[in-house]
A and B are shown apart, each in its own frame.
Chain A
Amino acid sequence: MPDERKKILEVHHLKQYFNVGKKDEVRAVDDVSFDIYEGETFGLVGESGSGKTTAGRSIIHLYEPTDGQIIFNGKDVSKLHTKAEMHEFRREIQMIFQDPYASLNPRMKVKDIVAEGIDIHNLAKDDADRTKQVEDLLETVGLNKDHSSRYPHEFSGGQRQRIGIARALAVEPKFIIADEPISALDVSIQAQVVNLMKELQEKQGLTYLFIAHDLSMVKYISDRIGVMHYGKILEIGPADEVYTHPLHAYTKSLISAVPVPDPEFERNRKQVVYDASREHDDKQRRMVEIAPGHFVRASEDEIPMYTKRAQEAGLVTDFPHN
């Protein structure tokens, strides 16, 4: 089934190494490839140290990638050399951060935090226009305009995250990287922020890269999910499919560890333990499309096993390998 949708972001063989050539070289992101289609939410999940945050930061070009290609809207990001090009790129991609306390400057008023992007990109005609834009943005994220002259410490965690979202929206981006945007929030507030993000996506046609470790929330907000482990993506597929019929053993173990608010389920929980050593057998592995749109990182001799799993799960009847 060829996908007709437009790819807004293509990541090809991205490698992000730190301390290259030294004894303590870290391969934080190691040969990662994925595409994100316009208007969708792509969830990137993994444990701490899996490289999911680094991948996000490489995409927005906060790091210079060691190798690989990042193509945003048809343009190769690493070839954006002039300041003006970089400027335009940074306007189109914005980021929402995990910690709503650390990501807002405590000495700036909300209106100046939200308007920082507007100022940098000269998006306001005059002061009155700037004020109006800020007030509209605050309203969009469910705050009110009286809040604009307050400081971050006067807000709760959920409200601060709304300010962070307003700041990201201020430059009218196409693509937002949300790095664990709800992990620091209370359960009841998490739902508020997730609902707000979904609503904004519908209204403004945004595309999200949603980075998180909370699989139940990622599954809920994402159209597709990529699972990262030790710098590599092990499985990519439609969110529901990955969650209900994971093919890779690591994805299974990750899902089996998610606590479910159901005591009956918890009493019968079967925890699957993943043995990472089986990845270190010097076999060549690549992403193989096991079921339509569902990729698993596999070696040649593992393909039949994954195909069998997919068949048993009813994901595929007769699907040719590429």
Chain B
Amino acid sequence: MENPENVIEVRNLQIDFHTYAGEVKAIRDVSFDLRKGETLAIVGESGSGKSVTTRSLMGLLAPNAVIKNGSIMFHGEDIIKKSEKEMQHIRGKDIAMIFQDPMTSLDPTMRIGMQIAEPLMKHKGLKKKEAIAQALEMLKLVGITNPEGRINDYPYQFSGGMRQRIVIAIALVCYPEVLIADEPTTALDVTIQAQILDLMKDLQNRIDTSIIFITHDLGVVAGMADRVAVMYAGKIVEYGTVDEIFFNPQHPYTWGLLNSMPTLDTEGGSLTAIPGTPPDLLDPPVGDAFAARSDYAMKIDTEKEPPFFKVSDTHYAATWLLHPDAPKVTPPAEIVRRQKKFAAMEKPEPPIKKETKE
């Protein structure tokens, strides 16, 4: 490991998918670190490669996927080189995952207590009785009311929000070092979403898990993440602390994402949509993949791929706009507003969650 604080180090990851139409270059040279105890959010549109990246960490890629290059270091060992059997010892124990849809990630024919107890019996060698007892504790922890009465219920007897709590209980029951949450609240209502996000933050503090949080909802990212990586067309185009990405973004794609959301202050008029659609990764464009949809594209963007330019020690962006020879451009008004806020910002205080009852 390059840095002792890192739990996972991904380097130069490159993944192709064989399809009838040809090779889809889904992940094109992705590198990132996950630090101990942090929440790293990966944001991007569907097809940007955020889910594929994290599935590769779990060894859960589809059979037609080929890892062309790169390494995923976890505890000094490369996950890519591990066999399926070795992965089964890591999955659910050291690295656990929460999926988007709580309706389909539970076994409909199995009582929920048993589903939570299963990883304990498999990974920790607990007897059924002990495992069920711990499952009960876990149900309490994730806030299921009357856990004793519900431990023998089936998934269909729970609402969507409660099911996602059960999924979280299963994922965390072995106290994994890394939790991958792939759009864990997208299928839920906002009030339930707020509860689940609070629960995840609370549990993270208690069991000191590092979280990789995948979402396309920038509002959720703003509330959950310590650091953010923005993905586009199979690449990370910008990464930094949550404040750096939201208040001092540098890549035109990050600008576009932030600009296309209505904020509290947005009045009538039209939203600034990003025109067009993401490129076809069967034949990825040369240069900056976002250039075709960007108002800020320069000639070099269609010729040569931009390297990462350093903005601060923690903030990097892959856009030619940061090259010393690039012309000065003015970002969209909303981004300028955010950057002004950034310039005036002091060091952020640690997050405090307040609740008022009405």
B240 to chain A, nearest CB (A): 12
The interface stretch among B68-76, B111-119, B270-278 is B270-278
Take A261-B261, A273-B357 as given contacts and tell me if A195 and B190 are in contact as well, using a CB distance cutoff of 8 Å. no
B271/A194 in contact, CB under 8 A = yes
A220/B273 in contact, CB under 8 A = no
B216 contact set on A, CB distance < 8 A: 186-187
Separation of A269 and B261 alpha carbons in the complex (Å): 19
A258/B219 in contact, CB under 8 A = yes
Chain B CB within 10 A, most for which of A188, A192, A194: A188
B145 within 8 A of A: no
* Interface magnitude class on chain B: 35 or more
A259/B217 in contact, CB under 8 A = yes
- A-side binding surface: helix, strand, loop or mixed? helix
- How many A-B residue pairs lie within 8 Å, measured between CB atoms? 144
A187 contact set on B, CB distance < 8 A: 45, 216-218, 257, 260-261
Separation of A177 and B36 alpha carbons in the complex (Å): 48
- B4-47 vs A: 1/0 string, CB under 8 Å? 00000000000000000000000000000000000000000110
Query: Which parts of A203-217 form the interface with B (CB within 8 Å)?
Result: 213-217
Separation of A58 and B113 alpha carbons in the complex (Å): 40
B345 contact set on A, CB distance < 8 A: 264
A264/B191 in contact, CB under 8 A = no
A263 contact set on B, CB distance < 8 A: 222-223, 242-243, 246-247, 348
B219 contact set on A, CB distance < 8 A: 216, 258-261, 266
B272 contact set on A, CB distance < 8 A: 191
B271/A273 in contact, CB under 8 A = no
B45/A220 in contact, CB under 8 A = no
B262/A253 in contact, CB under 8 A = no
- B223-259 vs A: 1/0 string, CB under 8 Å? 1000000000000000000110011000000001110
A103 within 8 A of B: no
- B203-216 vs A: 1/0 string, CB under 8 Å? 00000000000001
B270/A157 in contact, CB under 8 A = no
Looking at the complex, which one of A191, A199, A252, A262 makes contact with B358 (CB distance below 8 Å)?
A252
Chain A CB within 10 A, most for which of B220, B258, B261, B341: B261
B354 to chain A, nearest CB (A): 5
A186 contact set on B, CB distance < 8 A: 45-46, 216
B221 within 8 A of A: yes
Query: Which parts of A148-168 form the interface with B (CB within 8 Å)?
Result: 156-159
Total contacting residues, chain A, CB less than 8 A: 48
A274/B223 in contact, CB under 8 A = no
B217 contact set on A, CB distance < 8 A: 187, 259
Looking at the complex, which one of B271, B352, B353, B354 makes contact with A195 (CB distance below 8 Å)?
B271
A48 within 8 A of B: yes
B258 contact set on A, CB distance < 8 A: 261
A188 contact set on B, CB distance < 8 A: 45, 256-257, 260, 273-274
B194/A267 in contact, CB under 8 A = no
B269 to chain A, nearest CB (A): 9
B190/A219 in contact, CB under 8 A = no
> Chain A residues in contact with chain B, CB under 8 A?
47-48, 156-159, 186-192, 194-195, 198-199, 213-217, 219-220, 249, 252-254, 256-275
Identify 12 residue pairs between A and B in the complex whose beta-carbon atoms are under 8 Å apart, listed by A's number: A198-B270, A216-B264, A256-B194, A257-B191, A259-B220, A261-B246, A261-B263, A264-B341, A264-B345, A269-B353, A272-B358, A273-B355
> Chain B residues in contact with chain A, CB under 8 A?
45-46, 160, 189-194, 197-198, 216-223, 242-243, 246-247, 256-258, 260-264, 266, 270-275, 277, 341, 345, 348-349, 351-358
Nearest 10 CB-CB pairings of A with B: A259-B219, A191-B273, A266-B223, A191-B260, A261-B218, A47-B189, A188-B274, A191-B271, A192-B273, A220-B262
